[in-house]
Structure 1
Amino acid sequence: MEDDYYVSSEEEGYYDDEEDNDDPENLEEEMMAYVESETPKCEVSSTKVISKESLLAAQRGDVQRVMDVLSLKEYHARTLLIHYRWDVDKVLAVYVERGKELLYEKAGVTMAEHDDTSQLSSEVMCDICMDEIPANEVTIMDCNHVFCNECWTEHFIVKINEGQSRRIKCMAHRCNAVCDEAIIRNLVSARDPNLAEKFDRFLLESYIEDNRKVKWCPSIPHCGNAIRIEEDELIEVECACGKQFCFSCLCEAHSPCSCQMWDQWLKKCVDESETVNYISVNTKHCPKCNKLVEKNGGCNLVTCICGQPFCWLCGAPTGSDHTWDSIAGHECGRFKEDEEMDLEQTKKDLFRYTHYFNRFQAHKDSLKLEAALKKTVQRKITYLEENLSSSKDYSWTTDALNRLFRSRRIIAYSYPFAYHMFGDLFKKEMTLEQRTIKQNLFEDQQQQLEASMEKLSMFTEEPFDHYSEEKLHDLKLRMINLSTLVDKLCLKLFECIEYDLLGQLQFSVHRIVSYNSNGVEKASEINSLSGC
């Protein structure tokens, strides 16, 4: 192992044993104190995992909050929350700012006292079927509209089958009142118990489907979990199943790329559009057999392997008689210069795309290979714990390994970012000179991080389980120092992207997830009893 490592983001230095005259124990204590001061403290996760078992508790938690504040029945509170997309703060804000009446009116909640069926005459005319119905076979909703149970049931069944279970409104003309879910459940279950269960399931899943702060985990096959956030939806989370994803777009975690950039990058990678463009310009279809023909000479008369000659410029079939300037019996109005310019530009675009894609893929492949280091490092730690009695704390090795994984992922996704940032996406936002300056600034930050990260990768592969205590101690200090440096360089790269690049755009809005030193946030399990 060479006695050198990256020291700072501004200059390269080398560790010299002769220059270090400090006591090793004091140096280690100072280093550990520094790292602890620089490392963010672990906080309680603001994201929650909602499993099938805890979904009901999570919904009841929000419903109970609204019930307690507004003194409402459960189904009234649920109706309000469904209307306001399960945003409790929004419900309470509208209540404070605009009053209770407007809050209820917009959501279809009716609080008026309604008549009892016992107070009705012995028979009531249903305004839907126009039949005289016994009073014990009709139902009154909160809005005081009365219809027969048969008509109500048919209405509910149609709405449930149409997927409108969450807000089934009264049948009366221009009535905005939402029907009592208990009445819906009772009438439908008498006709079709399975449909009543479907109704309850729709109400329950509304907490996820209609909630801006809750989304299903995009794992395949689906794990059955959902994730609930508390604040900004621009966050990357890890589900209990291990799936890491961007909460905003539900794609894989892709910072420092914005969601728009990542979406365009995926489309480009999937359809290989640059390769397709190159083929479309550099080859032509034979007008006879339709096979692709590539031009390998300067003459515009080309001949397919099937024997058909045709004009390269327009693709029309011709005879074989020609000169360098013209084809006998054929005239073509297209300019050769345009064709050559298109070809050169397509080649440049393909070369540029290949440059960024190859580096992105190389780091992704390295990340997969380095994942196998976990078992190797753990095996080395176990050996040291059993054979070296002076120290039992080797967490610095796993900390360095985790830092390597996080920085490797950031470097990998920085290449799709650079492809779009300095390509055609923001061409109108920057002059060529401005783009060159910004690109140099970004690439300097990127290369500094990449160099330090590769040195950290080299350190993690050291056979430290066979080192002497003195050499192991030296490696420990180096890895702690380098891990801290890599963390700082990751932060600087994110700040460069967020403030110096995306923050300077005038006509486009691209936001990225803020840098998290601890990596993608792991969602904690929700309490199935309290819903918190």
Structure 2
Amino acid sequence: GGCNWITCRCGHQFCYFCFNTDPQHHNQPCNAPPDKTAQGAQSDLEYYMHYYDRWDGHRKSQELETQLRQDALSCMEDLTAHADHPSLQIDLAFLSEGTEALIACRRVLKNTYPYAFFLPKSSAKELFENLQARLEAQTEQLSAALESRQPLSAEATAEERRAHKTKIVNLGADARVRLRHMREGLEEGLVPKVTPAKPVMPTVGRPSGSRADPILL
């Protein structure tokens, strides 16, 4: 799946983004950018890579979680085929609904990182990153829950299945709330719109005083 808390086959667990191995880091936001007070190419690169890695990580997670849509439908079909109650198809709709909420959150979350990269340091950026962190934490929790299939297996008890359903329904509802808060923050002007800096247009290969062709960096 697309959850960014990785469990290796050897049992070692770590965060895909920052390699933190603290179990408390699981389901916690990992969006705090590096300190930008230092000057120099190394500092600039670390700052850029922070945003790029998280954009790319959420992009890959979105691709994996899009597959969860089909997996959820297959799981619903398998369980329904072995069910005695025809209403089970409706009861299992929480899998599909949770997956759609996850994909929507991941799509928005992915695009918050390029946006945040261009935001100048300010109280508005802190507010934006707070909304981003809340959405990210909720998204990771929902992703981890949807990846778990054991509570839906034949060995699971009815109580375990009900608990799993309740968990996904609640996480999906909370994720939609976080997603709405992020959108409202942008639409209502809580976070300023970003105006990208003009590209640098150096002159190359021409004598001094001549007109040069622009090169966009």
SS of the aligned residue for 2:89 comes to coil
Instruction: Look up the match of 2:132.
Output: 446
The counterpart of 2:141, out of the listed 455, 479, 485, is: 455
1:437-495 CA deviation, whole Å, 9 max, x = no partner?
A: 22222111111111111111111111143132222122222211211111111111122
SS of the aligned residue for 1:502 comes to coil
Give aligned pairs, total. Answer: 152
Instruction: Look up the match of 1:468.
Output: 157
Normalising by structure 2, we get a TM-score of: 0.64
Using the alignment, how far apart are the partners of 1:448 and 1:364 within structure 2? Answer: 18
Note if contact 2:69-2:100 (Cα within 8 Å) is conserved in structure 1: no
Taking the TM superposition and a 5 Å limit, the aligned residue runs for 1:12-411 are 344-390=39-85, 391-393=88-90, 394-411=92-109
Using the alignment, how far apart are the partners of 1:501 and 1:465 within structure 2? Answer: 41
Using the alignment, how far apart are the partners of 2:134 and 2:191 within structure 1? Answer: 18
Using the alignment, how far apart are the partners of 1:492 and 1:479 within structure 2? Answer: 20
1:4-35 CA deviation, whole Å, 9 max, x = no partner?
A: xxxxxxxxxxxxxxxxxxxxxxxxxxxxxxxx
Instruction: Please tell me the residue identity of whatever aligns with 1:420.
Output: F
Runs of 4+ in 1 over 3 A off after TM superposition: none
Structure 1 residues 370, 453: CA separation in 2 closer, same or farther (over 3 Å shift)?
same
1:364-384 CA deviation, whole Å, 9 max, x = no partner?
A: 011112222223222221121
Using the alignment, how far apart are the partners of 1:368 and 1:473 within structure 2? Answer: 29
RMSD: 2.2
Using the alignment, how far apart are the partners of 1:457 and 1:346 within structure 2? Answer: 36
Is 1:501 matched up with 2:199? Answer: no
Instruction: Please tell me the residue identity of whatever aligns with 1:392.
Output: Q
Instruction: Please tell me the residue identity of whatever aligns with 1:417.
Output: Y
Is 1:487 matched up with 2:176? Answer: yes
Instruction: Look up the match of 1:477.
Output: 166
Normalising by structure 1, we get a TM-score of: 0.27
Using the alignment, how far apart are the partners of 1:389 and 1:417 within structure 2? Answer: 50
Note if contact 2:127-2:191 (Cα within 8 Å) is conserved in structure 1: no
Instruction: Look up the match of 2:201.
Output: none
Note if contact 1:381-1:465 (Cα within 8 Å) is conserved in structure 2: no
1:79-126 CA deviation, whole Å, 9 max, x = no partner?
A: xxxxxxxxxxxxxxxxxxxxxxxxxxxxxxxxxxxxxxxxxxxxxxxx
Instruction: Please tell me the residue identity of whatever aligns with 2:97.
Output: D
Note if contact 1:445-1:489 (Cα within 8 Å) is conserved in structure 2: yes
Using the TM superposition, give the Cα deviation of residue 397 of structure 1 relative to its aligned residue in structure 2, in angstroms.
0.5
The counterpart of 1:412, out of the listed 107, 110, 114, is: 110
Using the alignment, how far apart are the partners of 2:140 and 2:94 within structure 1? Answer: 17
Instruction: Please tell me the residue identity of whatever aligns with 2:81.
Output: E
**Which structure is larger by alpha-carbon Rg, 1 or 2?**
1
Structure 1 residues 421, 441: CA separation in 2 closer, same or farther (over 3 Å shift)?
same
Note if contact 1:456-1:479 (Cα within 8 Å) is conserved in structure 2: yes
1:410-453 CA deviation, whole Å, 9 max, x = no partner?
A: 1100000000123xxxxxxxxxxxx3322222111111111111
Using the alignment, how far apart are the partners of 1:479 and 1:377 within structure 2? Answer: 13
1:303-325 CA deviation, whole Å, 9 max, x = no partner?
A: xxxxxxxxxxxxxxxxxxxxxxx
Give the stretch that moved more between structures: 494-503 or 398-407.
494-503
Using the alignment, how far apart are the partners of 1:408 and 1:392 within structure 2? Answer: 26
Using the alignment, how far apart are the partners of 2:62 and 2:53 within structure 1? Answer: 14
